[in-house]
Structure 1
Amino acid sequence: MDDPVVSDPGTPFARALRAAVARRGLPLQRLSSRLAERGLPLSPATLSHWQRGRSQPERGDSLAALTALESILGLDEGELSGLLGPQRPRGRSVTPPESPAVLRRLYGTGSTQEAALGGAAFREFNTGLRALTVRDTLVLDESRCVRRVLVQQVVRASRPGVDRLTVVHEVDDPRSLPVDVHVRCGRLGEVRCDPAVSCAVVEVLFGRPLRVSETAIVEYELAIDDCRTPSLFHERSVRPGLRELLLHVRFHPAALPLRCHRYHRPAADGPRGRLRRVELDASHTAHLLPGRCTVGFHGLAWQWPR
């Protein structure tokens, strides 16, 4: 069974599904039978709930059925699944995942992010965007310092008119500021560096305002010079709705850590929990790919030999 959502027949997923079913001209009972023939039982009632915005596919069997449904309806793969909203908690009152209240619960008060952005900008910190996938790659040198950070994000607009992504990157050594930013997908906007909080605030422009539910891909690289402080960890904040997170750390062959582990903490001021050892691979890299992107901070940490 899929989790209930606030009934809204106007959600992008519900609208697109209704339109596709109408074009195909198949009754829900027939669609249910076609899915069953593929070993993917799904009741007409569930299909009706999807069309009316009363629920959405969120679990493995339902998502598999949705992929088959796209094929049956003559749609491209991902044409419907790409419109799914974030997983919703049960209950009547749902806080939007990009709301200021979620930001406050995640970062707390007096966070580095708030200090770097300023109070007004922090309250609007990407509030019109929902991250779908985030992939970070850190490249460390033989002095144990981060030299490059490569980032790729896929985001979706939750309201019309959003035209940029704002990111806050903390550096290990404030002397390495300012950083060089190279944007491969998108266009570089304003870059502000604040040595007092060891942060670089970077805007990546989409090139035009997005429509509701429209997605954008952002890809950029930070080049960090004059860093003299060895790196000890890398982490990412996760808001509700993130589907995939990949953290990838490349260690220099001449500077390998003694051990590396993954962790999660529910908020910026929370302790690290869910510690688990991570082994380096043949290329001297470690990575984190959580099966579920739980809200909070996911990270990799390592210890250096003395």
Structure 2
Amino acid sequence: MSTNATPDQALRAQLRQALRHGPFPAALHLAIEASGLTLDQIQVRLVEQGARVSVPTLSYWRRGRSRPERPGSIRAVRCLEHLLDLPADSLVALLGPVRPRGRWIGHVTGSTDMGKLFETGRAVEMLTEVGVPPRGALTRISTQVTVTIDSHRRTSSIHLRELVVANVDRLSRCGVIHITQEDPANPPTLAGVRFCRAGRVRMDDAEGVTAAELILDRVLDAGERALVEYEWRFDPGVRMLNYEYRFQQPIREFVLQTRFEPGVIPAQCHRYARQDVSGAEEDRTELWIGSSNTALVAESDVPSGIVGMRWQWS
């Protein structure tokens, strides 16, 4: 006898997963599919319960083009839970906090103004020049950085791998930036681009700023995720005694690993944090360099600000 799940069982399993982890549009879509009801039928039954929601609005909620926020809309979601035979508050819990309106559109809770993360406004200007999405349109969920130090104690490359999620529909690109403070006239080259392609690139040798546009493999709607991978390469290498990543928004996961060639293992290595670009290094933690000649910083739920690694040879 076959043990394969039927289509209905598979749909129910997907629905249970979506109710646990979201996002809201996916859970609502699967719940509607499992019910067998059309949006017109659902709209009529909601009206009978005193919840006046149009069919286009239900469609927008289902596709993630908008979300319920006003008290009347939240009441309609609770009615949907009952109508679609879902546990109480299972859909409401996926909505999270109400998004701010008016002049705070685009603001992400816990975010830092970009001007506090860079020494001058040139970095922000260059990101605008390459066409980054509006503030709050994209969130980085995970960032993994690998810094490679060659046999001459020079940084030869900085490899980054980032998981991002769209907060708006029709998101097609993101912006990345690197600051070369040690040798501004020796900017890196953008290389090793994967799961996306390079767009516009701007360099300012005087400021040591390189900004680039990464065009995603596909256009994302709100709630959809994408992986991007890229590398800053230095030829010749640049002498660096630290690397730091600047977070405009809180991030779920951050990994920073530095690889040292054999024979150039530093005498000391530590992790540090700064609240902004003018702040002193705080929360210093000594890092061990393992047999693989690497030092590692791996953290979760990192607030906005700056986290870095510093090394020193005898």
- What is the TM-score with the length of structure 1 in the denominator? 0.67
Deviation at 1:191, TM superposition (A): 1.6
Please list, as runs of the form range in 1=range in 2, the aligned pairs for 1:45-64 lying within 5 A after superposition: 48-53=88-93
Paired residue for 1:256?
265
Two-structure CA RMSD over aligned residues (Å): 3.3
Following TM superposition, by how much is the alpha carbon of 1:118 offset from its aligned partner in structure 2, in angstroms? 1.4
Q: Distance in 2 between matches of 1:176 and 1:125?
A: 24
Q: Residues of 2 paired with 1:165 and 1:243: CA distance?
A: 18
Q: Distance in 2 between matches of 1:113 and 1:100?
A: 24
Preserved contact between residue 268 and residue 312 of structure 2 (Cα < 8 Å): yes
> Retained in 1: the 8 A contact 2:185–2:206?
no
When residues 284 and 179 of structure 1 are mapped into structure 2, their CA distance, relative to the original with a 3 A threshold, is same
Q: Whose strand fraction is larger, Structure 1's or Structure 2's?
A: 2
CA distance 1:54–1:96, shift in 2 (3 Å): farther
What are the Cα deviations for residues 42-65 of structure 1, in whole angstroms up to 9, with x where unaligned?
xxxxx6334124765xxxxxxxxx
Name the structure 2 match of 1:200.
Answer: 210
In the alignment, residue 108 of structure 1 is paired with which amino acid? K
User: Which residue matches 1:115?
Assistant: 122
The alpha-carbon deviation at position 208 of structure 1 amounts to 3.8
SS at match of 2:301: coil
Structure 2: distance between partners of 1:245 and 1:224: 23
Encode CA deviations 1:201-228: one digit per residue, 9 max, x unaligned: 121111443211111110112221124x
Identical positions, percent? 24
> 8 Å contact 1:178–1:193 — kept in the other structure?
no
**Residues 185 and 119 (structure 1), Cα distance of their counterparts in 2 relative to 1, 3 Å cut:** closer
Secondary structure (helix, strand or coil) at the match of 1:133 reads: strand
Secondary structure of the 1:289 match is strand
Following superposition, the deviation at residue 18 of structure 1 comes to 4.2
Alignment counterpart, residue 303 of structure 2, candidates 280, 290, 294: 294
Task: Give the Cα–Cα distance (whole angstroms) in 2 for the partners of residues 292 and 286 of structure 1.
Answer: 20
For the 8 Å contact 2:23–2:223, the answer to whether it is kept is: no
How far 1:14 sits from its partner (Å)?
2.9
Q: How does 1:45-194 map to 2 (within 5 A)?
A: 48-53=88-93, 102-104=111-113, 107-108=115-116, 111-112=118-119, 114-118=121-125, 121=128, 125-126=132-133, 127=135, 128-171=137-180, 172-177=182-187, 179-194=189-204
TM-score w.r.t. length of structure 2: 0.66
Contact 1:97–1:239 under 8 Å retained in 2: no
Deviations along 1:154-205, whole A, 9 cap, x unmatched?
1111112221111111223223225242312211111222111112112111
CA shift, 1:19, in A, is: 4.5
Larger Rg: 2
Change (3 A) 1:201 1:246: same
Shift of 1:264: 1.4
Letter in 2 for 1:52: V
Kept in 1: contact 2:168–2:222 (CA 8 A): yes
Distance in 2 between residues matched to 1:265 and 1:205, nearest whole Å:
31
CA separation of 1:93 and 1:116: change in aligned 2, threshold 3 A: closer
The answer on whether the counterparts of 1:116 and 1:194 sit within 8 Å (CA) in structure 2 is no
1:209 maps to 2:233 = no
2:256 paired residue among 217, 224, 247: 247
Runs of 5+ unmatched residues, structure 2: 1-21, 36-86
The separation in 1 between residues aligned to 2:122 and 2:236, in whole angstroms, is 24
CA spacing shift, 1:92–1:258, aligned 2, 3 Å: same
- Tell me: CA distance 1:175–1:212, structure 2 relative to 1, closer, same or farther (3 Å): same
CA distance in structure 2 between the partners assigned to 1:116 and 1:23 by the alignment: 47
Kept in 2: contact 1:250–1:286 (CA 8 A): yes
The answer on whether the counterparts of 2:127 and 2:177 sit within 8 Å (CA) in structure 1 is no
